[in-house]
A and B are shown apart, each in its own frame.
Chain A
Amino acid sequence: EAGVVQSPRYKIIEKKQPVAFWCNPISGHNTLYWYRQNLGQGPELLIRYENEEAVDDSQLPKDRFSAERLKGVDSTLKIQPAELGDSAVYLCASSPSPTADTDTQYFGPGTRLTVL
């Protein structure tokens, strides 16, 4: 069974440029998460989707970040414009259930973003 797929794996951009990350969750997983992991820190949730609906985006900086999950499968996370502080690893995860209570989340390899 294929795991969570993310692309690109690495991205280097200059500040003020736009950038987009793509995630394909495990087949059949209705719940999709985007986390951001700063250097030396644990991942922090940015947004969670149930099918195509964003049900928790309270931690998403909405002035520059946007996300979508059309058709409830693939998802794209966008930053426009990028700032130096956005340098981090962006992790996508999926799970078969709506909550984290009983099911583990399956993580992709992440996209490492460097903003110069």
Chain B
Amino acid sequence: KQEVTQIPAALSVPEGENLVLNCSFTDSAIYNLQWFRQDPGKGLTSLLLIQSSQREQTSGRLNASLDKSSGRSTLYIAASQPGDSATYLCAVPNQAGTALIFGKGTTLSVSS
């Protein structure tokens, strides 16, 4: 059964720092991996989708990498801003490709 783990559970940094969020998964036979952002009281917003054939995806200050063989993905946030404060979740499709399996998330707090 696929399991997704995210480390750390929480992270506090001052504005301007570069940071890395980690995600690991137990079954490397995945089609893709997604990173989501969740603001308090809000739904999830997809940030980046990495297909299994890709190594990384970039969007603005965000860069996500995928290493299927080791079962790991990282989300790199450059020059963090207070507006980046949120919970970041990674997710992979289940074996049938019919639903997403999520990690518990990393709650990020960026102070000004």
Are A42 and B89 within 8 A (Cβ)?
yes
Q: What CA separation (Å) do A45 and B98 show in the bound complex?
A: 10
- Quick one: which of B43, B49, B51, B104 contacts A42, CB cutoff 8 A? B104
Q: Judge if B108 is at the interface, Cβ distance under 8 Å.
A: no
Partner of A105, one of B41, B96, B97, B100: B100
Let me know if B28 is at the binding interface, CB within 8 A. Answer: no
CA distance A109 to B4 in the complex (A): 23
A97, closest chain B residue (CB): B97
Q: How far is it, in angstroms, between the C-alpha of A87 and the C-alpha of B105 when the chains are bound?
A: 19
Judge if B93 is at the interface, Cβ distance under 8 Å.
yes
How many chain A residues touch B (CB < 8 A): the figure is 26
**Separation in Å of the A23 CB from the closest CB of chain B?**
11
A99 to B93, CA, bound (A): 9
A101-B31 contact in complex given A42-B89, A56-B98, C-beta closer than 8 Å: yes
Cross-chain contact A108 with B49 (CB below 8 angstroms)? no
Give 1 or 0 for each of B69-112: 1 = CB within 8 Å of chain A CB: 00000000000000000000101011011111111110000000
Give the CA-CA distance A14 to B97 in the complex, in Å: 37
Q: With a CB–CB cut-off of 8 A, which chain B residues contact A41?
A: 104
**Measured between C-beta atoms, what is the minimum distance from A26 to chain B in Å?**
12
Q: Which of A45, A102, A108, A109 contacts B99 (CB under 8 A)?
A: A45
List A contacts of B46 (CB < 8 A).
Answer: 104-106
